[in-house]
């Protein structure tokens, strides 16, 4: 297990149960914090045994963050089909042992991590897909009608503490990261 991911999960549980936690931290640790937040969200919102994992990237910096997302997710999951799309996807795919695909194929994965700005159209998502929005995104109005959308605050802590249920069936789930300040303090 990846200790820094578990530390982030514990921090959100503490906040949800009324404890105070430090917030903020060194900006250089923000990619780790964001990756951990996405992995914790997937732990509660994704299918139990995801086989496919998709990464949408937009250049070298987002590729580094995407690779960290995979490492963070491996705390709980061992996907075997790793798909990458976007600028820099070829290098990322080589680095993680994945393959370059179309955006449509990435969006059809069990878990999708968006590390690039995108317009998220619900018609492009299949039932059962979980999406972590880790970069600015625009949502089609229809998405709120067909997906369960959870925001980092207060949603992630409530999920991790068991105060609300995560995935119920094969619905589309979307997690939207906020400032990740709680996570940033936890990944020192």
- What are φ and ψ of residue 181, in 5° steps? -65, -35
pLDDT value of position 1:
58
Which conformational region is residue 130 in: left (phi greater than 0), alpha (psi within -120 to 50 degrees), or beta?
beta
Contact 22, 185 (CB under 8 A): yes
The domain 3-186: what is its CATH number?
A: 3.40.50.720
Q: What is the pLDDT of residue 144?
A: 87
pTM above 0.85, yes or no: yes
Domain regions of the chain by residue span: 3-186
**C-beta of residue 133 within 8 angstroms of C-beta of residue 114:** yes
Asked whether 30 and 68 are in contact (CB, 8 A), the reply is no
| Whether the Cβ atoms of residue 112 and residue 126 lie closer than 8 Å to each other | no
Going from the first residue of the chain to its last (188 residues), give the mean pLDDT of each consecutive group of 10, the final group possibly shorter: 92 97 95 98 93 97 97 97 98 98 97 95 92 92 90 95 86 95 95
Buried b (16+ CB within 10 A) or exposed e, 73-95: bebbbebeebbbbbebbeebbee
- Using CA atoms, how far apart are residues 97 and 139, in angstroms rounded to an integer? 30
The H or E element spanning position 149 is strand 147-151
Q: Which of 141, 131, 138 is nearest to 107 (CA)?
A: 131
In three-state secondary structure terms, 58 is: strand
pLDDT value at residue 139 = 87
User: Around Cβ 5, how many Cβ atoms within 10 Å?
Assistant: 26
């Amino acid at each position: 297990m990846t200790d820094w991911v578990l530390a982030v999960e514990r921090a959100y549980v503490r906040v949800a149960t009324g404890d105070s936690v430090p917030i903020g931290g060194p900006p250089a640790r923000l990619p780790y914090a964001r990756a951990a937040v996405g992995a914790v969200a997937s732990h509660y919102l994704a299918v139990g045994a995801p086989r496919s994992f998709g990464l949408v990237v937009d250049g070298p910096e987002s590729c580094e963050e995407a690779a960290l997302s995979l490492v963070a997710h491996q705390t709980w999951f061992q996907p075997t089909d790793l798909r990458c799309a976007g600028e820099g996807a070829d290098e990322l795919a080589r680095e993680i042992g994945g393959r370059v695909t179309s955006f449509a194929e990435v969006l059809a994965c069990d878990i999708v991590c968006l590390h690039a700005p995108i317009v998220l159209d619900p018609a492009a998502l299949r039932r059962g897909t979980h999406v972590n929005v880790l970069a600015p995104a625009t949502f089609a109005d229809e998405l709120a009608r067909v997906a369960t959308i959870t925001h980092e605050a207060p949603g992630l802590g409530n999920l991790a503490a068991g105060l609300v249920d995560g995935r119920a069936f094969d619905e589309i789930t979307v997690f939207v990261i906020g400032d990740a300040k709680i996570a940033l303090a936890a990944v020192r």
